[in-house]
Amino acid sequence: MNARETLSKYHLKYSKQREVLLELLQNSNEPMSVDDLIEQLRLKNVSMNQSTVYRIIDHFCAQRIVEKTSSTLQPKHFYAFIRSDHHHYLYCQICHTHIPLDVCPMESWFKSVEDTHGFQMTQHHIEIIGLCAECQQKISHSN
């Protein structure tokens, strides 16, 4: 599904700005910050001011097309397109890389929670923070 189709699926009025932003988020493997988005827009020669980007992204979040994630370690928020095959990320606190995990680490535990409570989970959020392999190396070499 392309960005334009996603907009119509969620009954959102089409605008070029919405389409471009959604396209960036949909095509990205990593969550993106507003700064990342503005940088990508600049590369595409699309001019959009920061408040417009925020307004559109907030709207996507309200419609549950995009998920806002924040890290306790960083003031920045990151935004990710919500896929049916959702991903979790390992977040490096030094270089700020997001490393996607192929599987949901909590899936079997969540299933048992659902069974126990007769609850249907529609979304969940896991924050995993640490040091990536490269940053660990750099640290051990600098000592």
Contact residues: Zn ion, CB under 5 A: 92, 94-95, 104, 132, 135
Closer CB to Zn ion, 20 or 104, in the complex: 104
CB of 135 to Zn ion, least distance (A): 3
CB atoms within 10 A of CB 44: 10
Phi, psi of 140 (to 5 degrees): -70, -30
Closer CB to Zn ion, 50 or 106, in the complex: 106
Q: Nearest Cα to 129, choosing from 64, 72, 60, 52?
A: 72
Residue-wise DSSP of 100-130: EESS-TTHHHHHHHHHHHT---------EEE
CB of 88 to Zn ion, least distance (A): 5
CB of 131 to Zn ion, least distance (A): 6
Hunting for tokens 């827009």 — which residue is that?
Answer: 41
CB of 94 to Zn ion, least distance (A): 5
Closer CB to Zn ion, 2 or 128, in the complex: 128
Closer CB to Zn ion, 4 or 86, in the complex: 86
